[in-house]
Amino acid sequence: MTGISGKVVAIAGASSGIGEATAVHLAERGAKLVLGARRSDLLDVLVEQITRGGGEAVAVTTDVRRRADLEELVATAQRRFGRLDVLFSNAGSMAVSAFDELRTDDWELMVDVNIKGVLNGIAAALPVFRAQGFGQFVHTASTAAYKVVPQQSVYAATKTAVKVLTEGLRQEAGPNLRVTLVSPGFTNTEGVGKGGSAETAAALIAQRDQIAMPPDAIARAVAFAIEQPDGVDVGEIVVRPTAQS
Ligand SMILES: NC(=O)c1ccc[n+]([C@@H]2O[C@H](COP(=O)([O-])OP(=O)(O)OC[C@H]3O[C@@H](n4cnc5c(N)ncnc54)[C@H](OP(=O)(O)O)[C@@H]3O)[C@@H](O)[C@H]2O)c1
């Protein structure tokens, strides 16, 4: 199936920022959405907004650290819409800090959400995609996977892991599945520095407010990867604000 209209897209991390913008963009272009995140109140508002606009969407409370939650996200797509065309694993934590602060709980959180969350998505969707004979994984990494900067090492390591496992998955996917990595640069979302140390977060937020691009820049990149004809696999997209070095 070429294009976006009619495709069933599940988004893990859909309640704000890039995931929310992508849900809105894809719904406007005729996709059917299955929206996952922990904040179900925000998901319900988004479902209402999409439905009011004539689109189709359903919310599933999802914590990507729980394998069963990803299985339920995928199963909901199958129950409600009969199949799953795309799993967009976008949930992420940017709880950044300097090593000296020893914010070990944040390190663990980023590993659990950013790496294990993506793996849980693969475990849930891969057997379904194999059985269907089609399907596409889209994973959110970051420009941090391409350039390490101070205070972001653990975050950068998790996003590098996402980049590596996505490329490995692409190589194993075979001729019927598609695997895409989307790496945003500074994007204007609430997630920048969220949960990180106050000092690091403040510096990042100041930079975000100066140079960040709107999240629909990433939504359009995701849409580009999804709308390609069968047999065309967009492997990697990096999108930065022009002002980002
Ligand atoms: N903004 C940037 O500059 C930037 C740059 C590069 C990469 N990224 C990446 O882009 C992705 C989206 O981030 P964003 O910038 O759009 O920030 P955001 O607005 O904070 O979005 C993060 C999303 O992830 C979800 N999430 C977090 N932990 C989760 C969990 N345990 N289970 C399920 N969902 C969870 C959040 O939903 P709940 O809190 O409701 O669960 C939210 O929907 C992340 O992977 C981030 O690392 C962002």
Nearest-angstrom CA–CA distance, 224 and 219: 9
Nearest-angstrom CA–CA distance, 203 and 193: 9
What does the pLDDT look like over 42-89, one tens digit per residue?
999 999 999 999 999 999 999 999 999 999 999 999 999 999 999 999
Nearest-CA residue for ligand 1 atom 1 is 187
Instruction: Tell how far the Cα of 111 is from the centroid of ligand 1, in angstroms.
Output: 13
* pLDDT of 180: 98
Instruction: Tell how far the Cα of 185 is from the centroid of ligand 1, in angstroms.
Output: 13
Ligand 1 neighbourhood includes 190 CB (under 6 angstroms): yes
Q: Is 245 exposed, middle or buried (0-12, 13-18, 19+ CB in 10 A)?
A: exposed
Nearest-angstrom CA–CA distance, 214 and 137: 23
Give residue 2's pLDDT band: very low, low, confident or very high (50, 70, 90): confident
Ligand 1 neighbourhood includes 13 CB (under 6 angstroms): yes
Q: Which domains does the chain have, with CATH numbers?
A: 8-235 (3.40.50.720)
**Is 155 a residue of the active site?**
yes
